[in-house]
Amino acid sequence: MTDHLSPETIAATHGIAIDTAYGAVAPPLYLTSTYAYEAFERPRQYGYGRGGNANRDLLGEALAKLEGGAGATITASGMAAIDLLLGRLSPDDHLVVPHDCYGGTLRLANGRASRRQFRLTIVDQGDPAALADALKDGASLVFVETPSNPLMRVVDIAAIAAAGHAAGAKVVVDNTFLSPALQNPIALGADYVLHSSTKYINGHSDIIAGALIAANAEDAAADRVWANTAGLTGAPFDAWLTLRGLRTLFARIERQQSTASAIAERLEAHPGIAAVHYPGLASHPQHDLAARQQKGFGAMMSIEIAGGADGVRAFLSKVAHFTLAESLGGVESLVSHPATMTHASMSIEARTRAGITDGLLRLSIGLEHPDDLLAGLERGLAG
């Protein structure tokens, strides 16, 4: 009989004490590109490292359990996880993506669509009429990102999944911003969940990695075959590190979001800030939806600095305890300027349509003491 385990327990213990050679408590790292056959015509469980590796499998099993999926494919990056789906679309397929997701996702979707690899519609998924219009002639894949990067807009996963399925599409949710600790899209009807595990799942800003989790076993098996075919799988050491990071995911994110919530409230009342986008604030337009759909509000927010680009320049020259860098979800706090960093590959029109202004800054709240972070932000705002 297998006990039902809480997600916290799965994250902390999946793969612990399974080593049969020496009884190592931490899972051994299998650095090998290939595997010896037992004898002629007698391969073992794994044949070649691109197709199979025990460290990737352990991590994939843990993530599939945490997301409530049938299986997972561990990829070399979050983008590789996205392309594991996009790269298999054909010219008569129709992909629907949100207008305000991660800039790299839009760059990939546009790049493949401009090569006529599929038909692409970019739509405000928070507008049910616009989404219905995008889906009216059918779709193959609906890509959802919620909360969105960087504006923290929240969309209704269950409603979009139902609309996508009615249009004949599979639905994938990029769950990078919340992690399986705070949101489980498969339980809300999604067919796939994907992660840039570079972010919260690994949590230590020391690798690039991704994962695609499928709700059903057939899709999960097909994902693994294609990841091997196209060479999208991740490195064993990265999978080992990611599983180590996953051990503390729940503890990290709980603390990070409690600090984020305190910071969002303080910043909202600050005269130097024109707007705070954080789903935990009662003023957030989708606060109720976030409270219903998520298990927590997370540790990401974006803020609109009064004074636009000049205000941003002054703030960044003085802010302390926030490193100016892309990425998010690590133990250290980061600040980024989407218009010139993460979303610079979008056209000015697309950025304007998405609401990404020159005064917008994205904050990833880490594990520092809240008082230090608040003092660091105050220094920036005094600037």
Active site annotation includes 50: yes
Least distance to ligand PLP, CB of residue 108, Å: 9
Which is the catalytic residue, given 56, 83, 102, 153? 102
Which is the catalytic residue, given 100, 124, 174, 191? 174
Least distance to ligand PLP, CB of residue 199, Å: 6
Q: Which is nearer to ligand PLP, 118 or 143 (CB)?
A: 143
Give φ, ψ of 364 to 5 degrees: -110, 115
Q: Which is nearer to ligand PLP, 178 or 381 (CB)?
A: 178
Which is the catalytic residue, given 153, 199, 247, 252? 199
Quick one: which of 164, 78, 82 has its CA closest to 123? Answer: 164
Dist CA 175 CA 295 (whole Å): 13
Residue nearest to ligand PLP (CB): 78
> Judging by beta carbons within 10 Å of its beta carbon (0-12, 13-18, 19+), is residue 329 exposed, middle or buried?
buried
Is there a contact between 83 and 77 (Cβ–Cβ < 8 Å)? no
Dist CA 165 CA 159 (whole Å): 10
What is the amino acid identity at position 281?
Answer: L
Quick one: which of 379, 299, 380, 302 has its CA closest to 339? Answer: 302
Q: Which is nearer to ligand PLP, 73 or 176 (CB)?
A: 176
Active site annotation includes 170: no
Q: Which residues pair with 172 in a beta bridge?
A: 143, 192
| Number of residues that this document lists for the chain | 383
Q: Which is nearer to ligand PLP, 150 or 311 (CB)?
A: 150
Tokens of 355: 């609401």
In the complex, which residues of this chain contact ligand PLP (CB under 6 A)? Answer: 77-79, 102, 104, 145, 149, 174, 176-177, 196, 198, 208, 210
Least distance to ligand PLP, CB of residue 324, Å: 15
Q: Which residues pair with 213 in a beta bridge?
A: 72, 193
Q: Which is nearer to ligand PLP, 198 or 261 (CB)?
A: 198
Least distance to ligand PLP, CB of residue 164, Å: 19
Quick one: which of 179, 221, 181, 230 has its CA closest to 200? Answer: 179
Count of beta carbons in the 10 Å neighbourhood of residue 23: 8
Half-sphere exposure of 149 (CA within 13 A, CB side): 29
* Distance from the Cα of residue 177 to its chain's centroid: 5
Give φ, ψ of 67 to 5 degrees: -90, -5
Q: Which is nearer to ligand PLP, 176 or 261 (CB)?
A: 176
Least distance to ligand PLP, CB of residue 263, Å: 20
Helix (H), strand (E) at residue 144: strand 141-145
Which is the catalytic residue, given 35, 46, 50, 379? 50
Active site annotation includes 379: no
Q: Which is nearer to ligand PLP, 175 or 311 (CB)?
A: 175
Active site annotation includes 102: yes
Give φ, ψ of 78 to 5 degrees: -65, -40
Least distance to ligand PLP, CB of residue 206, Å: 12
Least distance to ligand PLP, CB of residue 194, Å: 8
Dist CA 333 CA 329 (whole Å): 8
Is there a contact between 233 and 76 (Cβ–Cβ < 8 Å)? yes
- Residue 188 carries which DSSP code? G
Instruction: Please list the active-site residues.
Output: 50, 102, 174, 199
